[in-house]
Amino acid sequence: MRLVLLAISIALAPVGCTTKKENPDELRQKTAQTTAELKREAQAVAQGVREGWNRDKLVNVNSASKSQLMDLPGITSERADRIIGGRPYQRADELVTRGILPKAEYDKISGQVIAGNK
């Protein structure tokens, strides 16, 4: 416990000892920059959680909602609409053979999609 308090004290010491006063404009700029960085990091974390949550679930391209399709990596609103418009599929790889998705995009989701009966 003492070690933790000592580490916190050492870490905070420079903050209280600084003699330079921050210019309000500089402080506002730094705050905006830090906020933007945190926002990007939070979005990356949210995307990672979404992908991790859905990683073990197979998505049926014949019955999935637009939202479910868009949770797949690289599937945009437009691509989800094309997948839905091309239904039904006998096999998931028909997304490529029928020109719905480029092979590179299909390869990103191939282990996460199936094409079964509705």
- Domain of 90, CATH number, reads 1.10.150.320
Q: Name every residue whose Cβ is closer than 8 Å to that of residue 62 and which is 6 or more positions away in sequence.
A: 87, 88, 89, 115, 116, 117, 118
Domain boundary residue among 13, 39, 56? 56
Task: Look at the chain and report how many structural domains it folds into.
Answer: 2
Assess whether 32 and 50 both reside in one domain.
Answer: yes
Residue 43's pLDDT is: 82
Q: How confident is the model at residue 3 (pLDDT cuts 50, 70, 90)?
A: low
Assess whether 79 and 108 both reside in one domain.
Answer: yes
Assess whether 68 and 82 both reside in one domain.
Answer: yes
Model confidence pLDDT, tens digit, residues 24-68: 888 889 888 988 888 888 888 877 776 666 566 899 999 999 999
The two tokens of residue 106 are 């299909």
20 found inside a domain: no
75 found inside a domain: yes
Whole domain around residue 33: which residue ranges? 28-56
